[in-house]
Structure 1
């Protein structure tokens, strides 16, 4: 149990407990609405289960012990901390800009712009991959939620998407 004395072990234990509580609350929410659409409990159940499984798995790996390679990688990661802080602040700024983009430009255009800017910021030099993922992934998500699940997505101020 010495691994639980580390910050990572305590964090993972807290995540496991929190995800278990979140999942319990999610299973109290209705799965579908009376109209047959997905209910308030649909995605929280999936997210809660995935979060609990991944937290439990990570905690098990932490309790199983660390190899010297992992410890060396963690020491190197702490040396790169200023870069990580800058990257984190960039991601926070992009997410903050994403919210008004959804409102003013609409879901599809806002998601495409957010994904493209994020990919070109962090994945420089891979233009074709960035464009394919930056356009394809939001379009698939839009079609899934707007057409497949009949979810309400923000149309934008000008309602630029014709379909």
Structure 2
């Protein structure tokens, strides 16, 4: 019996270690790539600053590079905000759809009162559970079949 459980564990959880290793490698690779990317970004800004210094002077060059960087930052913020609003609208639509699928408030109240009945009489509890299940099924449209043949 123990070898069977061991094999079932390997089948069920065998991919946990490789997945963790892959995630760790991906995170480390991403961190190294981020350092190289930031280094390239700083070098690009310095090169742009040195080029503009020859054309318009050091002060104006620094102001232009700062304005360009600030504009890029604001663009990223606007994009992220629009993505967040779109995600929030999708979540709200899902919430409304889930709320529309809920049973009516009377049935919800009966289901909420069911816990109090479970502590009491067992026959009454069985009848109440059966009635609640029947009412819930009917409110969800179970058993409504219009094309029945007599």
- Please confirm whether the aligned pair reaches a TM-score higher than 0.5, indicating the same fold: no
TM-score (norm 2): 0.27
Give the number of the structure whose residues are more often helix, by fraction: 2
Larger Rg: 2
TM-score, with structure 1 as normaliser? 0.25
